[in-house]
Amino acid sequence: MVVAEIGCGAGNAVFPLLEANKNPHLTLKAYDYSSHAVKLVQNNPLYLSPPLGTIEAAVWDLTSSELPPGLEPGSVDIITLVFVMSALHPREWANAVSNTHKLLKPGGLVLMRDYGRYDLTQLRFKGGRLLDDNFYIRGDKTRVYFFELDELALLWTGSPAPASSRECRPVQIVEETDEHSTSDSDPTARSTPFISPNASQGSSPGRTTPTLAEAEISLNVLSDNAAEHAAQKPGAIHPMLTGDLPLKKAHPLFSIEQLGVDRRLIVNRKRQLKMYRVWMQGKFRKL
């Protein structure tokens, strides 16, 4: 079993896998375009002395014209892409999908998680950060794109998302502690200070920590805000995913095993903050 984490950062996927591993034949690969990130992985005690199985990290750009050194085409069972595709320029998407397809064995899986359209991160960006529709640049010069379901389906399969992916799922309200953060590490995703919706109706003076009931009311406000933005340009598909393009000619490369939207209102009572997050999750199988 070979599992590759692409865009590994500090190894947030490979090290938990390594710790929980019971398979002596498991091989983990960790790749990132940043040499600093790769060094962090290589200096981790679990990397230096893996309890079971093997792990290897190397610098590699998912959009490059070559595969990682020492890794043969069709040799990987599972590839994870967590907040990776959104960091690429849309012109680089085709190379990323093509390289992923080359690396996987027939029937291999891509597991991805990324930003969804009108996530709090997007709503908080200032106009000067906009590079293109739904595509922004952060203060540290990294980029981020916010996807629609159809865009991810077109990107990986060449066809729009199935109706089952569009089923309206309830928004989860998640209580967060500083020790067990459920939000991603995006520095632009600043939380919103909580103000009780009943503040003007005689609520207890000095109490600003939200109850779950108040969080539900707040969620409705945030959802309406996101819906207002969505109404301005509903279902916009990036031009790189339409028309007679090379990636479209190559499809179908993958089938959809799972695709949907994870919407959460994350409430941190200690810090008196709340964040409305929209994340895309997908599982795609190589054909």
Residues 233-255 pLDDT 10s: 446 899 999 877 777 778 899 99
Lowest mean pLDDT among 37-46, 82-91, 153-162, 240-249: 240-249
Question: Which residue segments constitute the domains of the chain, with CATH numbers given?
Answer: 61-286 (3.40.50)
Q: What's the whole-number mean pLDDT along residues 91-120?
A: 97
In sign, the C-alpha dihedral spanning 21, 44, 61, 137 is positive
pTM of the complete model: 0.81
* pLDDT higher at 257 or 168: 257
The predicted-structure confidence for 172-212, as pLDDT tens digits, reads as follows 888 876 655 544 544 334 333 333 334 333 433 333 344 44
* AA letter at 255: S
Which tokens is 205 given?
């003076």
Helix (H, G, I), strand (E, B) or coil at 159: coil
Helices 149-157, 93-103: axis angle to 10 degrees equals 50
Interval 179-189: pLDDT, tens: 555 445 443 34
Please name the amino acid found at residue 216: E
> What's the confidence (pLDDT) of residue 210?
42
